[in-house]
A and B are shown apart, each in its own frame.
Chain A
């Protein structure tokens, strides 16, 4: 098992939060700080290298989703791409209408942006999901109106890993002449995506979820889709996104994308193996636990459980003491008093939403690490349940 510098186990199960930057990514980035630091907009020879590198990364990324290079716009990350896609579309198509459809379990980069637009006079329909986090396609079709300009549904959920029926959503959007944006931050580089096959008009992604650098992402905008400039002040990114290109970040994202594509099949196979092993082990060995999310329509690396009678943050601190990095949908980890909107949307009552644990794997994790972690979870849960007045009440009621 991996160890930290004090010789204690170190296990990283939070790959949906961010990933370790791959060594070949770091290696590829460095020369763009030390040698080829030229501004791609400059005229002299030094800048050629930066320009070439950005072009190469753009080609790689476009290929990865079956797009054209001039449909890829680099941003500072997934959140910017989501904001841009939604706000710019809303502005560009407001003469057609002011209605947007999204889902209740989107990332806050989408939800909060929609709420922002509601204050500006737009109407937003938030589709409910079933208990597994899947939207209902009939409800989607039913929600489309004459003035609907955009459907924004995430490719896969960051908390519970549920993968939406993107192909069918794309078909519905196309049939009704409505633009389709998908937040693919958790899916890009993890599972196959084809913008043409899936009839996606806009797609957001982020570099650091696929072993690339932080602070870089992109928005795919299909040719012909009207979009306004989101950051003003320069001709970069075909005049749509001003600001000197983050050349090292873009290079890193390109290399990370190439790497992700080359290992995708094996990675998916390995992660599903590990994921299902962990899910089965927890279900078998830990009482009062429940898998959150869909069993099959699920990201290969996502495990999310609700553990009754305990609160997530306490569980996370205890796991950290054992060298295990994970995350939770409890209020305390969100910095507010409300637990995860995703867990509430799939119908969990508050106390169960507070007791959730998300473990997101990578292909580098091992069975040994999973065994160690599940054993620790068991011990910690027993300890926390003994401390819990809710468990005490439950035992008294059922004794």
Chain B
């Protein structure tokens, strides 16, 4: 069902983890549709993305697109990162099954959300960047099993 690239990124995700005191953190998606992506960016004073990490709750495609998105973002400038589209992520993975294309949209949104957080923290205005949706818990507060 998945391409070899997707399986590779799912099995060996690149840049999985957290960054403490990250320059920007963005969380997108919602539990209802079953995918939540969180992206951490470490951006230096020149606006270059030095490091990136992700955490994802989701299917194989969601994990693979998160992983691929971090690879595409790393070493880019903020402006360059903003231009990374879901199409670019999908193509870099040699395609996704049609029902999974929404996962790649999530990857694009996660980059934008992290950049938005970075801009807010630093009082910057990044051209072409709008406020991300923040609906990850969909308003439900649930008890855990234990």
Contacts and interface: CB of A to CB of B under 8 A. Distances in A.
Given A335-B99, A387-B16, A289 B145 contact: yes
Given A290-B145, A311-B34, A332-B59, 13 more contacts: A306-B145, A311-B62, A314-B62, A331-B34, A335-B99, A349-B142, A350-B32, A387-B16, A387-B55, A388-B55, A388-B56, A389-B38, A394-B144
Contacts of A311: 34-35, 57-59, 62
A351 B34 contact: yes
A314 B60 contact: yes
A287 B144 CA distance: 10
B37 A389 contact: yes
A310 interface: yes
A321 B144 contact: no
Instruction: Among B10, B11, B34, B145, find the residue whose CB has the most chain A CB atoms closer than 10 A.
Output: B34
Nearest to B103: A332
A385 to B, nearest CB: 9
16 contacts: A289-B145, A308-B144, A309-B57, A311-B58, A331-B33, A332-B59, A332-B60, A349-B142, A350-B34, A350-B138, A351-B31, A351-B32, A351-B34, A354-B31, A387-B63, A389-B27
Interface of B: 7, 10-11, 13, 16, 18, 27, 31-38, 55-63, 99-100, 102, 138, 140, 142, 144-146
Contacts, number: 89
B18 to A, nearest CB: 7
10 cross-chain pairs, A with B, having the tightest CB-CB distances, nearest first: A351-B31, A313-B59, A332-B59, A389-B38, A354-B34, A389-B55, A350-B32, A388-B57, A290-B145, A331-B34
Given A330-B34, A389-B37, A392-B18, A349 B57 contact: no
A39 B59 CA distance: 48
A33 interface: no
B36 A389 contact: yes
Interface in A283-312: 287-290, 306, 308-312
A267 interface: no
Nearest to A310: B57
B145 to A, nearest CB: 5
Given A337-B33, A387-B16, A390-B31, A288 B146 contact: yes
Nearest to B11: A321
B31 A350 contact: yes
Interface of A: 287-290, 306, 308-314, 317, 321, 330-332, 335-337, 339, 349-352, 354, 387-392, 394
Contact of B13 (A330, A387, A388, A390): A387
- From DSSP, what is the main secondary structure of chain B's interface residues? mixed
Contact of A317 (B55, B60, B145): B60
B93 to A, nearest CB: 15
B137 to A, nearest CB: 9
Nearest to B55: A389
A6 B48 CA distance: 47
Nearest to B37: A389
A334 to B, nearest CB: 10
A290 B142 CA distance: 14
A295 to B, nearest CB: 16
Contacts of B18: 392
Contact of B56 (A290, A308, A332, A389): A389
B32 A392 contact: no
B55 A314 contact: no
Instruction: Among B11, B16, B59, B100, find the residue whose CB has the most chain A CB atoms closer than 10 A.
Output: B59
A395 to B, nearest CB: 11
Contacts of B37: 389
Contacts of B27: 389
A372 to B, nearest CB: 20
A308 B140 CA distance: 15
A337 B102 contact: yes
B55 A330 contact: no
Contact of B145 (A288, A332, A390, A392): A288
A135 to B, nearest CB: 25
A387 B39 CA distance: 12
Contacts of B13: 387
Nearest to A288: B145
A173 B94 CA distance: 56
B78 to A, nearest CB: 23
B56 to A, nearest CB: 6
A22 B25 CA distance: 55
Contact of B55 (A289, A312, A392, A394): A392
Given A290-B145, A349-B142, A339 B34 contact: yes
